[in-house]
């Protein structure tokens, strides 16, 4: 479809749009797709076909043929299917051809709204008989074996016991979802502890409250709880896979024996210290931007491009370790490989085959068929994997088992079906890397924008090249160093000349060339140059600030084009030129009024022109550092990111320093007073931003109002 597919993203998002355009591509109409780090939906071939839609129990004798609000489905090792038909208080057992073979209503007393089931290797059933507050263990014929109730323990207090989702390990321990924990119960109905609770992290506000609040007040402060678990399943590897309501990572977990999540993480560094300001900005103001630009499980935009936070209602894992989760709000099924990379997303809300209204549960059988239960449609749909996705599964598995050449062949077969399948390219790039074909690996990974594999290959490739051409490279490097020194000396000479001629020739205004050199000289002698401006404030050339602004922008744009691929923070096509300008200029430009307002009421001497001049000077370090850095970045890779980050940070340190010095020098403040005034100005700056934001929103509203009046007028009279 032509470019109209961008329609459908709402207007509020006026503000957010300005910051990110990647979200706009979401509305593309496709059933099967993958999303990478930027949430862009890349269509892939049909991965699953619906082969069965089961709406009722078929021929089996029972008055209630249809399901009623079914809550769970389980496939046992022999591919028998168990459906927890909660609304009818029964458990339906079907054979692998989906014919009902038995219905259980509760062995000793009737089930009361059961919510979950687990069936072990022997066919013994464990039913979470939720409203009876118990777990019922039945043998394959539905006869009672034992009943588990809420175990007694001082740790197990609080809310009533209403078991819903559970698993039973080979050791006979029952793991059942209990709020923010998974509770384990042993075969003797003894409490065996909580498992897999998330670290809730550090909260600055709460810490402060604890320090200052009295004991009485503390009792009113609600205890922060970790996010609740939603569902869990037992993998063939013996690990528990679970989904939870968490938002920052850990929506999908693979828990090892001590309950630590070892599945894909969003952040490489552990729980960083959070503070309310960045939390607020990230979670409230920029949430859709943040969600749109980083890897997250599931998607944060529905099919209409509206923001949503996914809820993974169920999870299943096949014998190869492929994880499939079911999302409720947009009805999608997401499948991930063993490392948490998305293999395919499909499904959705709707009335046609293969879509859902209220998906409730998912499980996988031994043939790889996915069974999805819908509690509003009251049906079970069976999705059969196509040749394509089977190849993908085989390829990821053989890579994980270390069969790199086999995996390479399989990925090639995948590419014969879908030339654009990201993971196939990554897989091939990884195989090339293992085979020391670094150049090929780089090309392959760059095709699909995989920075990690590219970096690995690039680093190796760098050594290969260096080893092969050691002497010429050293010579070139020496030559460049010499050239830089020469340029620096020459520049210094001319800049010095420009500086002195400006100071001494008291009748002439600052020339353009002179002004440029003067600005650059700020890098070497900030105090002198700033004082020069203070004492010659009438003669400064106001064209220079504009030139600096433009130059910094040009440098930024050039930087985006030239910077080395793995270090680029944003894809070229996602760049929004307006937003880039705002990011770059917002501090120096808003500093001008903020600084002026702050200083003019507290004995400042500076006037708008020289504040403008010196504020824009703060962009000079950015220009000076980024010009060489963008070229240099081409021999750096992601592994040198921190090193590279130091240089990027230097530009900001320089900016801060110049702003600080200019305030101190122009107003003849003491250091202490300067610090105070800096804080006041910073506060002013924030106020200015907020006012500007408010104006933006209000004028937006006003314009909308006028437009709607005009529309109504036009419709009625024209």
**Could you list the residues that contact other proteins (CB under 8 A)?**
1-9, 11, 17, 21, 24-25, 28-30, 40, 42-47, 50, 53, 55-56, 58, 65-66, 350-354, 377-379, 386-389, 416-421, 447-448, 557, 560-561, 572-573, 575, 577, 704-705, 708-709, 711-713, 715-717
Q: Closer to other proteins at the Cβ: 27 or 592?
A: 27
Alpha-carbon span 172 to 120, nearest angstrom: 10
Question: Could you give the CA distance from residue 451 to residue 436 in angstroms, rounded to a whole number?
Answer: 18
Nearest to 347, CA basis, from 30, 675, 659, 615? 30
Min separation Cβ 584 and other proteins, Å: 14
Q: Which is nearer to other proteins, 30 or 634 (CB)?
A: 30
Q: How far is the CB of 289 from other proteins (least distance, A)?
A: 15
Q: How far is the CB of 310 from other proteins (least distance, A)?
A: 21
CB of 380 to other proteins, least distance (A): 11
Comparison of 4 and 258: residue with beta carbon closer to other proteins: 4
Q: 653 or 709, CB closer to other proteins?
A: 709
DSSP 138-173: E-TTS-EEEEE-PPP-TTS-SS-----SEEE-TTS-
* CA distances from residue 57 to 62, 100, 528 in whole angstroms, order as listed: 8, 6, 88
Sign of the C-alpha dihedral computed for residues 561, 566, 569 and 575 taken in this order: positive
HEC-encoded secondary structure of 481-525: HHHHHHHHHHHHHHHHHHHHHHHHCCCCCCCHHHHHHHHHHCCCC
Helix (H) or strand (E) holding 685, with range, is helix 671-717
- Give the shortest CB-622-to-other proteins separation in angstroms: 19
Question: Which CB atom, from 5 or from 192, has the smaller least distance to other proteins?
Answer: 5
- The minimum distance between CB 44 and other proteins, in angstroms, equals 6
At 125, phi and psi to the nearest 5? -105, 140
Query: Is the CB of 309 or the CB of 387 nearer to other proteins?
Result: 387
Q: Which is nearer to other proteins, 33 or 148 (CB)?
A: 33
Q: Which is nearer to other proteins, 416 or 464 (CB)?
A: 416
Q: Measured from the CB of residue 419, what is the shortest distance to other proteins in angstroms? A: 4
Q: How far is CA 425 from CA 34, 97, 100, 320, 442, in A?
A: 14, 38, 44, 21, 11
Q: How far is CA 521 from CA 90, 395, 526, in A?
A: 82, 59, 7
Please give the DSSP secondary-structure letter assigned to residue 350.
S
Note the helical H segments in 20-147: none
d(C-alpha 266, C-alpha 248), whole Å: 8
Provide the minimum distance between the beta carbon of 533 and other proteins in the complex, in angstroms, as a whole number: 35
Rounded to whole angstroms, the Cα distance separating 593 from 589 reads 8
> Nearer Cβ to other proteins, position 346 or 622?
346
Provide the token pair at 326.
């079911």
Min dist CB 158 to other proteins, Å, is 39
Nearer of residues 17 and 540 to other proteins, judged by Cβ: 17
Total Cβ atoms within 10 A of residue 570? 16
Nearer to other proteins, 38 or 120 (CB): 38
CB-nearer residue toward other proteins: 481 or 702: 702
Query: Which own/partner contact pairs does 128-136 have at CB distance under 8 Å and 24+ positions apart?
Result: 128/163, 128/164, 128/165, 128/166, 128/176, 129/163, 130/86, 130/162, 130/163, 130/164, 131/162, 133/160, 133/161, 133/162, 133/163, 134/163, 135/163, 135/166, 135/174, 135/176, 135/185, 136/106, 136/107, 136/111
Rounded to 5 degrees, what are φ and ψ at 373? -100, 135
Minimum separation from the CB atom of position 606 to other proteins (A):
37
Beta carbon of residue 716, minimum distance to other proteins (angstroms, whole number): 5
Strand partners, 177: 182
- Measured from the CB atom, the residue of 470 and 561 that comes closer to other proteins is 561
Long-range contacts of 672-676 (CB under 8 A, 24+ apart): 673/602
The C-alpha atoms of residue 374 and residue 205 are separated, in whole angstroms, by 42
Least distance from other proteins to the Cβ atom of residue 209, Å = 38
* 3 state DSSP class of 47: coil
| Cβ 32 to other proteins shortest distance, Å | 9
Q: Locate 234 and state its tokens.
A: 């037992």
């Amino acid at each position: 479809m032509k470019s109209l597919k961008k329609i459908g993203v709402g207007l509020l998002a006026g503000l957010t749009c300005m910051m990110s355009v990647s979200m706009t591509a979401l509305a593309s109409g496709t059933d099967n797709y993958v999303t990478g780090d930027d949430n862009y939906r890349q269509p892939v071939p049909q991965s699953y076909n619906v082969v069965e839609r089961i709406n009722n129990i078929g021929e089996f004798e029972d008055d209630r043929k249809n399901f009623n609000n079914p809550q769970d489905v389980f496939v046992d090792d022999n591919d028998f299917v168990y459906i927890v038909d909660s609304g009818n208080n029964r458990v339906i057992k079907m054979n692998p051809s989906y014919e009902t073979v038995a219905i259980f209503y509760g062995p000793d007393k009737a089930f009361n709204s059961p919510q979950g089931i687990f069936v072990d290797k022997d066919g013994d059933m464990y039913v979470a008989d939720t409203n009876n507050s118990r777990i019922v263990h039945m043998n394959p014929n539905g006869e009672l074996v034992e009943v588990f109730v809420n175990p007694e323990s001082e740790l197990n207090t609080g809310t009533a016991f209403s078991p819903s989702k559970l698993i039973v390990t080979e050791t006979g321990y029952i793991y059942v979802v209990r709020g923010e924990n998974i509770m384990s119960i042993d075969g003797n109905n003894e409490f065996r502890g909580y498992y897999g609770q998330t670290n809730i992290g550090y909260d600055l506000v709460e810490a402060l409250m604890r320090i200052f609040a009295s004991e009485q007040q503390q009792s009113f402060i609600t205890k922060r709880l970790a996010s609740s678990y939603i569902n869990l399943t037992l993998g063939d590897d013996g690990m528990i896979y679970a989904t939870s309501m968490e938002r920052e990572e850990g929506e999908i977990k693979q828990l090892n024996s001590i309950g630590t999540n070892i599945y894909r993480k969003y952040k490489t560094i552990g729980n960083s210290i959070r503070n309310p300001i960045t939390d607020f900005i990230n979670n409230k103001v920029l949430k859709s931007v943040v969600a749109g630009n980083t890897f997250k499980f599931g998607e944060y935009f529905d099919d209409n491009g509206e923001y949503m936070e996914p809820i993974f209602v169920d999870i299943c894992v096949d014998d190869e370790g492929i994880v499939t989760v079911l999302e409720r709000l947009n009805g999608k099924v997401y499948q991930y490989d063993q490392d948490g990379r998305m293999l395919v997303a499909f499904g959705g809300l709707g009335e046609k085959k293969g879509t859902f209204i209220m998906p409730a549960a998912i499980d996988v059988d031994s043939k790889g068929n996915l069974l999805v239960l819908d509690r509003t449609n009251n049906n079970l749909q069976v999705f059969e994997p196509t040749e394509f996705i089977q190849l993908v599964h085989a390829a990821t598995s053989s890579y994980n088992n270390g069969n790199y050449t086999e995996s390479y062949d399989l990925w090639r077969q995948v590419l014969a079906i879908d030339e654009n399948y990201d993971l196939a390219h990554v897989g091939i790039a990884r195989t090339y890397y293992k085979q020391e074909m670094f150049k090929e690996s780089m090309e392959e990974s760059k095709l699909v924008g995989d920075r990690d594999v590219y970096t690995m290959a690039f680093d190796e490739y760098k050594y290969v090249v260096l080893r092969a051409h050691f002497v010429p490279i050293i010579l070139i490097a020496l030559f460049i160093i010499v050239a830089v020194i020469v340029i620096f000396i020459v520049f210094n000479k001319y800049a010095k000349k420009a500086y002195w001629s400006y100071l001494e020739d008291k009748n002439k205004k600052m020339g353009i060339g002179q002004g440029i050199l003067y600005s650059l000289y700020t890098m070497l002698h900030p105090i002198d140059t700033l004082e020069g401006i203070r004492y010659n404030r009438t003669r400064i050339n106001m064209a220079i600030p504009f030139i600096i602004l433009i130059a910094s922008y040009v440098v930024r744009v050039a930087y985006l084009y030239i910077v080395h691929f793995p270090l680029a923070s944003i894809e070229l096509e996602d760049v929004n030129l307006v937003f880039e300008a705002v990011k770059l200029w917002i501090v120096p430009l808003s500093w001008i009024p903020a600084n002026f307002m702050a200083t003019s009421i507290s004995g400042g001497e500076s006037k708008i022109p020289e504040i403008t001049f010196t504020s824009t000077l703060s962009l000079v370090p950015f220009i000076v550092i980024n010009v060489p850095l963008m070229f240099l970045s081409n021999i750096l890779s992601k592994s040198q990111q921190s090193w590279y980050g130091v240089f990027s940070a230097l530009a900001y340190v320089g900016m801060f320093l110049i702003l600080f010095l200019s305030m101190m020098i122009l107003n003849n403040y003491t250091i202490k007073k300067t610090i105070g005034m800096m804080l006041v100005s910073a506060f002013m700056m924030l106020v200015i931003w907020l006012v500007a934001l408010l104006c933006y929103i209000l004028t937006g509203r006003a314009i909308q109002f006028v437009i709607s009046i005009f529309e109504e007028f036009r419709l009625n009279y024209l």
